[in-house]
Amino acid sequence: MKKSGSESLKSINLRPFVESLIAILVGFVIGAIVLLAFGYNPWSAYYWLFQGALGSTYGIASTLKYATPIMLTALTFAIGTRTGIFNIGAESSFYFGAIAAVIFTNIWDNMWFGLAMGMLLGALWALPAAVLKVYRGVHEVISTIMLNWIGWFFVLWLIVGPYANPNDPNKTIRIPVDARLPIIGYGLSIAIVIAVIAAVLTYFLLWHTTMGFGMRASGINQKAARYAGMNPKMAVMWSFLIGGLLSGLGGAMKIMGEGPGYAISQGGANIYGFGFDGIGVALVGRNHPLGIILAAIFFGMLRAGTALMQAQAHVPLEIIKVIQGIIVITVAIPSLYDLVKKAIHRGAA
Amino acid sequence: MDVGSVLSILITSLMAMVPIVLTSVGAAWSERAGVVSIGYEGVLLMSAFFGAIFAELASNAVVGLVGGIFVGVLLGMLHGVLTVYLKGDHVIPGIGINLLAMGVVPFGILAYWGTAGQHQLPHDAQMWHWKTPYGELSPMVLVTILIALVTWWVLFKTPLGLRVRSVGENPEAADALGINVEKYRFWSTVYGHALAGLGGAFMSVDWLGLVHKTMSGGRGFIALANMVFSGWNPLVSLIGGWLFGFFDALAAWLAPKHIIPGQFILMLPYIMTLIIVAGIIGKARPPKWDGRPYKRE
């Protein structure tokens, strides 16, 4: 009975990784077909996309910058899925994290206070969905979507109303200098470091603590978990609260990790959509925190490259969302790996 | 509030009812057969966009409505293949379809019409309406009520409906009786998405006469809430759908009055959805095999 190094290496399951790569490939191929159908040149679009994302230090920095918020919203969705729920509420917890940063750093200009309040408001906004799920059996997809809309209008009111900048009608008031996140370089703040730490902590929580074991056990089989003496209701509660906290952190860092003039824009355009993108990141990262780090960087790459793609190849940046949607649908094909393997074998024979 | 305002809110509520009821009726049929989809939000958005293109190309709104159904059928087939035949998760493809729509529609509006975010339809691509002193009413309101009635009748009063419900309640027994579970589930999914497609095209070529990149506005999910509220019953979903339409119309009527900030009024339909769903769940029971893939032993 000896176990060689190569054997233990084989036990690492590469299947999810390969499946995500196939999905990404399918996304790009179908994206190219869409581009052709509308009369664009896909080669030129993709060339400038990757040139923009990886072609310079600035490009790489902005790739990581775009990866930061969606890494956190993806963790929200992943924690939900691991506990057996589809938490779509990252989107609105993100808004509350962002507005909390604006409100509370202007009360006390301390970075940690701003981050903490962002996390707190993000978690609080996730609470109604958790309570409705546990005590009323309301499906979380419906409740979190409704809360997203309610939260959107509420935060929009704060943006245009009480927290509008009296000197600049296009923005909210700014984050005080002392409360801003330190910048590493090329516009990239330490937010990326905090996000990666959050992902690692989430991994540790889910796979190396009793609480995380209980959460995952409830996600796999509620009845069995209850029989084993765990409390699936509390697992669901924690899953929503920790999820909301992470997205709230993401929202706060989005606003606090920028240069002096930065604030939430009047229509809320710079805080919209990160929760939805996070769902895609989580699915491509297979709901695993370490997979999510990679997937977030990949999605960040797509986002960072769009500016150059739009300028040089004149392709609307929304094509990236089309590609993302196709990738997610492809990820949903359960036997993708087997289908491709079979096709390769047939081709080789 | 005067009589004219009441009548105007009532007429708007009938129009607002259409996409929600059509989607709820379709979703109820599909879930009765055991297939869950949360992709209706994306179906509404994409069929609104492609329906508008079809209507403009033909200069005819009815062609646009049929085009919307066609988009619904295609997306339903996609969802059906993934869930029914490949036995995949029922929720994730829906998320994918919703994300896809959030990309396809803004991209499409820009690439096809060259305008960002919104496009107004020419007059000849818009549906004909009955004009009343208190607002315009579309014949689609009647069509929707008829679809709900017929769907209810087929689902509960005919052998076809019995078979559809049996594959959602007890696929093993249905299978033993020689019913092709996968066939019934697949086409039920297609029917559900087709009705949502009609609802989406209604929004662009009929009700509003425009395409906007966020025009579905959560209606796909409100429709799912309404389906639960109505106990998976197409006939009852007419009542629920009208109720949501009423809050939609009330919000639209209140918004320009500036009594309270507009954002709080716009929250109204979503808050009511949440309250109604929270109050009703517990009593409602989904079909037993709803959302569970059936694999033959």
Per-residue model confidence as pLDDT tens digits over B187-242: 999 999 999 999 999 999 999 999 999 999 999 999 999 998 899 999 999 999 99
Bridge partners, B136 (sequence order) = B131
Residue type, B106: P
Selecting from A38, A132, A334 the residue whose C-beta is nearest the C-beta of B111 gives: A38
Mutate to test the interface with B, among A87, A91, A146 (most CBs of B within 10 A): A146
B137 neighbors B229 (Cβ within 8 angstroms): no
Query: Smallest Cα–Cα separation from B213: which of B63, B44, B54?
Result: B44
Distances (CA, A) of B6 to B9, B13, B246, B249: 5, 10, 11, 10
Tell me the three-class secondary structure of chain A, residue by residue: CCCCHHHHHHCCCCHHHHHHHHHHHHHHHHHHHHHHHCCCCHHHHHHHHHHHHHCCHHHHHHHHHHHHHHHHHHHHHHHHHHCCCCCCCHHHHHHHHHHHHHHHHCCCCCHHHHHHHHHHHHHHHHHHHHHHHHHHCCCHHHHHHHHHHHHHHHHHHHHHCCCEECCEEEEECCCCHHHCCCEEECCEECHHHHHHHHHHHHHHHHHHCHHHHHHHHHHHCHHHHHHCCCCHHHHHHHHHHHHHHHHHHHHHHHHHCCCCCCCCECCCHHHCCHHHHHHHHHHHCCCCHHHHHHHHHHHHHHHHHHHHHHHHHCCCCCHHHHHHHHHHHHHCCCCHHHHHHHHHHHHHC
Residue type, A44: S
B213 neighbors B112 (Cβ within 8 angstroms): no
Look at residue A219 in the predicted model and tell me its pLDDT.
87
Q: How far is C-alpha B92 from the geometric centre of its chain's CA atoms?
A: 19
Mutate to test the interface with B, among A321, A330, A342 (most CBs of B within 10 A): A321
Non-local (6+) Cβ contacts of B60 within 8 A are B124, B125
Look at residue A221 in the predicted model and tell me its pLDDT.
82
Selecting from A141, A154, A322 the residue whose C-beta is nearest the C-beta of B38 gives: A141
| DSSP one-letter code for B42 | H
Check the CA dihedral B88-A84-A194-A100 and report its sign.
positive
**Do the chains contact at A276 and B78, CB–CB below 8 Å?**
no
**Do the chains contact at A142 and B261, CB–CB below 8 Å?**
no
Residue ranges of E strands in B32-112: none
Helix (H, G, I), strand (E, B) or coil at B137: strand
Whole-angstrom distance, CA of residue A222 vs CA of residue B90: 19
Look at residue A8 in the predicted model and tell me its pLDDT.
47
Model-wide pTM > 0.95: no
Residue with tokens 């240069």: A259
Query: Smallest Cα–Cα separation from A243: which of A47, A88, A61, A33?
Result: A88
Query: Smallest Cα–Cα separation from A276: which of A319, A325, A316?
Result: A325
Task: Please report the ipTM that was assigned to this predicted complex.
Answer: 0.90
Taking each helix axis from N to C end, the angle separating A57-82 and A232-256, rounded to the nearest 10 degrees, works out to: 160
Residue with tokens 């516009």: A187
Selecting from B38, B92, B100 the residue whose C-beta is nearest the C-beta of A325 gives: B100
CB pairs under 8 A between A and B: 145
B195 neighbors B25 (Cβ within 8 angstroms): yes
Is B188 touching A (CB cutoff 8 A)? no
Using a 10 angstrom Cβ sphere, with 0-12 exposed, 13-18 middle and 19 or more buried, the burial of residue B140 is: buried
- Tell me the mean pLDDT per 10 residues along chain A, length 349: 45 80 94 93 95 94 97 97 94 98 95 97 97 91 94 95 89 93 93 97 94 89 81 92 98 93 90 94 95 96 93 92 93 79 72
B117, B123, B126, B131: CA torsion to nearest 10: 120
pLDDT in tens, chain B (297 residues): 688 889 999 999 999 999 999 999 999 999 999 999 999 999 999 999 999 999 999 999 999 999 999 999 999 999 999 999 998 889 999 999 999 999 999 999 999 999 988 999 999 999 999 998 888 899 999 999 999 999 999 999 999 999 999 999 999 999 999 999 999 999 999 999 999 999 999 999 999 999 999 999 999 999 999 998 899 999 999 999 999 999 989 988 887 887 888 899 989 989 998 998 888 766 677 888 888 888 876
Query: Smallest Cα–Cα separation from B31: which of B226, B282, B295, B277?
Result: B226
B39 neighbors B98 (Cβ within 8 angstroms): yes
Query: Smallest Cα–Cα separation from A90: which of A232, A245, A212?
Result: A245
Check the CA dihedral A126-A127-A128-A131 and report its sign.
positive
A43 neighbors A313 (Cβ within 8 angstroms): no
**What tokens does A89 get?**
């509420």
Look at residue B1 in the predicted model and tell me its pLDDT.
67
Look at residue A253 in the predicted model and tell me its pLDDT.
97
**What tokens does B230 get?**
């109505």
- B chain contacts of residue A141, beta-carbon cutoff 8 Å: 38, 91, 221, 224
Length of chain A: 349
Using a 10 angstrom Cβ sphere, with 0-12 exposed, 13-18 middle and 19 or more buried, the burial of residue B253 is: middle
- B chain contacts of residue A326, beta-carbon cutoff 8 Å: 96, 100
Helix (H, G, I), strand (E, B) or coil at B201: helix
Residue with tokens 């707190």: A120
Using a 10 angstrom Cβ sphere, with 0-12 exposed, 13-18 middle and 19 or more buried, the burial of residue A208 is: exposed
